[in-house]
Structure 1
Amino acid sequence: MQKPPVDVLPLFPELDRLLLELLHSLTPEDWQRPTLAREWTVKDIAGHLLDGNLRTLSMLRDGYFGEAPEDTSYAGIVAYLNRLNADWVRAARRLSPAVLMDWLAQSGAEYTAYLNTLDPWAPAAFAVAWAGETESLNWFHIARDYTEKWHHQQQIRTAVGQPAPLMEPALFRPFIETMMRGLPHAYREVAAPTGTVVRVVIDGNAGGIWELARAAGDWHLQLPDAARPAATLTLLPADAWQLFTKGLSAAEARERAQVAGDEKLALAALRMVAVMG
């Protein structure tokens, strides 16, 4: 059975409200704290979130792309996005926290208003490449944008010791549900007999159970119904979001994960990356 789409549109205003509430509470020292996003500080991530709003409004709402990637392969798109991100973050370091917060508030409302104009079943302008798609529907594009806003805010929250609000089931579950849509692509080169089932469990009341089944020639997600999966991987929510957004290595995650059954099959899930760049 095909898994249903993930509806996140009503969550964007709450995500933005929580972000602005958090940013307004930060001290000058907090803004300069290091984060899981490598060289980026808390302030750098806030600038990157502003870029996401403005870039979407410019390119998709207004049809103004400014510059396009020369290489449209997966590697080319990643290099293009990394360059755009680095250029913007470097320039945004000139902006004060007050300016960033004002612009995040204004652009966030416009960004959400634009998303609400999209037909969820129409083709999206950009495919969700980390899920292996070359064409995606708008609902998946919107859900992917939700994961971007969620995990960058959580990087800020982790840096300043306030991670709890985004781990509530209402906000975390849609995030991890969207991330799990990348599992079939992560397993695309994993060989197994037809009918093999791998179960991935995100522990706790905000998590859930996902099953990946091997069909003739590919893997696909199915509603959980296997009595005895060939392999089961169990992760804590805090480890899962960091792993799938490159904040935790596969080796680090393995030390914290629980594995049952075929270890090789289970550990293939640790290779999934549900972000670009």
Structure 2
Amino acid sequence: MTTSALRPIGPVHLASRFPPLEAELLTLLRGLHPDDWSRSTACALWTVQDIAAHLLDGSLRRLSFQRDGLSAVPDVPIDGYDDLVNYLDRLNAVWVTAARRISPPLLIDLLEHTSRQVAELFAALDPEAPAIFPVGWAGEERSANWFDVGREYTERWLHQQQIRDAVSAPGLTTREWLHPVLDLFLRALPRRYRDVTAEAATELRVEIDGAAGGDWTLRRVEDAWRLYGGASGAPAAHVRMDQDTAWRLFSKGIDPARARELVSIDGDQTLGAGVLGALAIMA
């Protein structure tokens, strides 16, 4: 077992990755056969066309709320995390249903037009300034722009990957694409373990195999869990999985029972098993 010194996790700056990510999406969509647009995906009851429409909705909301100052106040009371998830699910469902009246060629045109403007918006932001939206799945009530932008990158990468899976296209899973996703997804762990008590300095190591993987350690510090990069030599639990299992696990893209078959846990089984329920999406 290899070990490395623990290091505090820091910002992940991904604004520059949006133009190439969106270029990959547009190339993918333009190459689809007409039948591909109605293929089922891993994203609930959505088809390929539905996911493309959802991505367009994300761009339109970003530009309207963040760039143009349109009010983003919900039309219903939001009293906690579950209320927020339900509200977002409703917004998503309403849009996707209406967008089924948009043709695939027009969807592509609108995605190209709006994604370029979103990339310009993100590139102009001060990464350390307060974000318009906090990263709720990480347990934050206030987030810096770099984290909000990073969260947006993970969502767009994820939905593109779901389309790629549905049409049997090669995934964007080399280190340049996937490692930032995994690095940000792991930041869901402190919220996941917020109600788990343990002695100070208790450590949980998460090792992800593959070119895009790495080591992360969740460490009990005073009355909270903090995430670090790297690994120490004696964690209370050691959770190990490959990179494909990891991104699917943190995005609700794999059945929990199947995930347990693919994930190894050494040491404290109860402590390690908490990783199986971590989510880096609003769900």
* Equivalent position of 1:204 in the other structure: 210
Post-superposition Cα deviations, 1:223-250, rounded to whole Å, max 9, x if no partner, equal: 3241111111111211111111111132
- Structure 1 window deviating more from structure 2 (199-208 vs 44-53): it is 199-208
- The aligned residue for residue 180 of structure 1 is 186
Q: Who is 1:132 aligned against?
A: 139
Matching residue of 1:192: 198
1:77 paired residue number: 84
Residue matched to 1:98: 105
Q: What SS does the aligned partner of 2:124 have?
A: coil
Kindly indicate whether the alpha-carbon contact (under 8 Å) linking 1:43 and 1:97 is maintained by their aligned counterparts in 2.
Answer: yes
State the SS of the aligned residue for 1:22.
helix
Q: Partners in 2 of 1:67 and 1:227 — Cα distance?
A: 48
CA contact (8 A) 1:70 1:76 kept: no
Counterpart of 2:70, as a letter, is Y
- Answer whether contact 1:2 1:222 (CA < 8 A) is retained: yes
- 1:194–1:161 distance in 2 versus 1, CA, 3 Å: same
Q: Tell me the amino acid that sits aligned with residue 174 of structure 2.
A: E
Corresponding position: 1:122 with 2:133: no
SS class of match (1:81): helix
Aligned residue number for residue 260 of structure 1 = 266
DSSP-derived class of the 1:94 partner: coil
- Paired AA for residue 142 in structure 2: E
Q: TM-score, normalised by structure 2?
A: 0.94
Aligned to 1:30: 36
CA RMSD of aligned residues (A): 1.2
Does 1:171 pair with 2:181?
Answer: no
Residue 162 of structure 1 aligns to a residue whose secondary structure is coil
Q: Which amino acid aligns with 2:134?
A: A
The residue that corresponds to 1:247 in the other structure is 253
Q: Given that residues 69 and 77 in structure 1 are in contact (C-alpha distance below 8 angstroms), is that contact kept between their aligned partners in structure 2? A: no
Name the CA distance, whole Å, in 2 between partners of 1:187 and 1:33. 37
Contact 2:215 2:230 in 1 (8 A): yes
Q: Corresponding residue for 2:166?
A: 159
Give the deviation of 1:2 after TM superposition: 2.8
Supply the distance in 2 between the matched residues of 1:267 and 1:176 (Cα, whole angstroms).
Answer: 18
Shift of 1:66: 6.4
Q: Give 5+ residue unaligned stretches, structure 2.
A: 1-6
- 149-158 vs 67-76, which moves further: 67-76
- C-alpha contact 1:201 1:209 (8 A) present in aligned 2: yes
CA contact (8 A) 1:50 1:103 kept: yes
- In structure 2, C-alpha distance between the alignment counterparts of 1:67 and 1:222, rounded to whole Å: 35
Letter in 2 for 1:188: R
Contact persistence 2:207–2:213 (CA under 8 A)? yes
> One-letter code of the match for 2:162?
Q
SS of equivalent residue, structure 2 residue 151: helix
2:224 maps to 1:221: no
TM-score normalised by L of structure 1: 0.96
Counterpart among 85, 93, 96 of residue 86 in structure 1:
93
Where structure 1 has 5 or more consecutive residues not aligned to the other structure, the ranges are none
- Bigger drift between 256-265 and 222-231 goes to 222-231
How many residue pairs were aligned?
276
How far does the alpha carbon of each residue in 1:121-174 deviate from its partner, in whole angstroms, 9 at most, with x for none? 11111110100001101110000000110100000001111243x101001001
Partner of 1:227, secondary structure, is coil
The Cα of 1:98 is off from its aligned counterpart by 0.2
1:107 aligns with 2:114: yes
Secondary structure in 2 matching 1:55: helix
